[in-house]
Amino acid sequence: MLKLLKLLKDGRFHSGQDLGVALGVSRSAVWKQLQHLEAELNLPIHKVRGRGYQLAAPLSLLEAPAIAEYAQGESWPALIFDSIDSTNAQALRAIGEGQAAPFLVLAERQTAGRGRRGRQWVSPFAENLYYSLVLRIEGGMRQLEGLSLVVGLAVMRTLQTFGVVDAGLKWPNDVLVNNQKIAGILLELVGDPADVCHVVLGVGINVNMRAASEIDQAWTSMSRETGLNIDRNLLVARLNQNLQSDLERHRQDGFTVFKQEWEQAHLWQRQAVSLIAGVNRVDGIVLGIDGQGALRLEVNGVEKSFSGGELSLRLRDDS
């Protein structure tokens, strides 16, 4: 089935006869595979008598040689899957199996993609980027301070190089364009964070997705913002490059060197917000972040700091 998909990925028409010859099967077998592609991967295929078959839109499939070709310098080894539950889950399994870090897990599709607080991350086939980077951390808690915010900066800068100029950050782990979500970050730890551990840096970016009725919040994508079909292999290579630079800087100097840049990119600076943790809610004004990446709020005239993976930040109606 994937061999057929690679023949069709250019978005041009291909006759059933030509596809059958390339695959070494009959035209009826080609037709059955096409039906399976549509049903299994939800890929619309145009059928025109006398012209053949055409994907509704060209596909950029993830390929390790293409990522390496775009890379400037060394790139992390990548495990690429056609379909898995989630790249973070696969990364955690690979750690348990002894895979040496650093390494990447990429997928064309996730069947159980996850965001923060257990939310579903909608993951259509070959449209977006589902990316998990595994690192071995030996420097103790200092090496983890503000790490998700550093990843957010790298993602934002990467999007901007593709023309998504209005991309900005929302504490702690979202990248927005005009208050619409375009990317999210999910970090997971294995081991002792005070000694030696592994961290999985999960990144989801809406790349070429143009429709998704099942998403329950305002969203956009790189293709929506630029009007272009984005080469996801180039996107991986550029994100790798930005992360390599920023992670090394973070390892050497800590998070404080990123604090000012992050605050300048934060879209909700000085905004009236509600910080929600379960049934509890705190209303305040965003002052920025501290040297560990915690959110600083002015609450009833008093500055307070908040951190934790289960916190949700929302704009107040009177903002």
**Strand ranges for 22-118 from DSSP E:** 45-48, 52-55, 78-81, 103-107
Q: Which residues of 85-119 are buried (b: 16+ CB within 10 A; e: fewer)?
A: bbbbbbbbebbeeebebbbbbbbbbbeebbbbeee
The CA distance from 65 to 48, in Å, is 34
Q: Please confirm, yes or no, whether 117 is among the known catalytic residues.
A: no
The CA distance from 296 to 263, in Å, is 11
The CA distance from 43 to 22, in Å, is 21
Q: Please confirm, yes or no, whether 136 is among the known catalytic residues.
A: no
Q: Which is catalytic among the residues 3, 47, 117, 314?
A: 314
Q: Which is catalytic among the residues 114, 157, 170, 181?
A: 181
Q: Please confirm, yes or no, whether 12 is among the known catalytic residues.
A: no
The CA distance from 180 to 289, in Å, is 22
On whether the CB atoms of residues 43 and 56 are closer than 8 A, the answer is yes
Contacts 24+ apart (CB under 8 A), 251-256: 251/139, 251/143, 254/142, 254/145, 254/146, 254/291, 255/145, 255/146, 255/147, 255/149, 255/150, 255/291, 255/292, 255/293, 256/291
* Distances from the Cα of 285 to the Cα of 185, 278, 281, 294, angstroms: 24, 20, 13, 14
Q: Which is catalytic among the residues 109, 114, 116, 224?
A: 116
Q: Kindly list the catalytic residues.
A: 116, 181, 314
